[in-house]
Amino acid sequence: MRIGELAERAGTTTRTLRYYESRGLLPARRGDNGYRTYDEDDLRLLRQIRTLQDFGFDLEETRPFVECLRAGHPQGDACPASLAVYRRKLGELDTLIDELRSVRAQVGEQLTRAERAMDELAAEAAVPGGPEPACAVFPRETAPGDPAEKTGRRTR
């Protein structure tokens, strides 16, 4: 098959295929007419690369999987180098998950603090003679014809 058909079947572009070829991930075979030619094995390589990239692997991390397929294995992850990449990626993902949990906890603490502060402001505003609320959370009463009626803001 030619490059356009391979790109279509793999769900990518011819530009991407040429890039993979320049990086040594896709073979650069040419027919007698000078056109690039590909076969079903090349489509398998591309599907392996695309799947790994969908999982967040960078292009260079796909290389051991491609080499494993090229060596004749039925699956790209049937080789020790591929397993090492999986292990390394899992470690990276675990680190990211831990970092995200930490950030989530911090955001949760900030939300709790902000809600407490808002509740305190609301309580102070409910006391006669207390401070007048200054944010949209506590809408002010407006009289008909008051300029604030249209904008939602009071003028001073």
The string of pLDDT tens digits covering residues 23-70 is 999 998 998 998 999 999 999 999 999 999 999 999 999 999 999 999
DSSP element (H, E) containing 11: none
Q: Which pLDDT score, from 0 to 100, does residue 156 have? A: 44
Distance separating alpha carbons of residues 133 and 121, to the nearest angstrom: 7
Distance separating alpha carbons of residues 50 and 143, to the nearest angstrom: 62
Compute the C-alpha angle 138/139/143, nearest 5°: 150
CA dihedral of residues 40, 71, 63, 28 (deg, nearest 10): -50
Distance separating alpha carbons of residues 3 and 86, to the nearest angstrom: 30
Predicted TM-score (pTM) above 0.75: no
pLDDT > 90? residue 83: yes
pLDDT > 90? residue 154: no
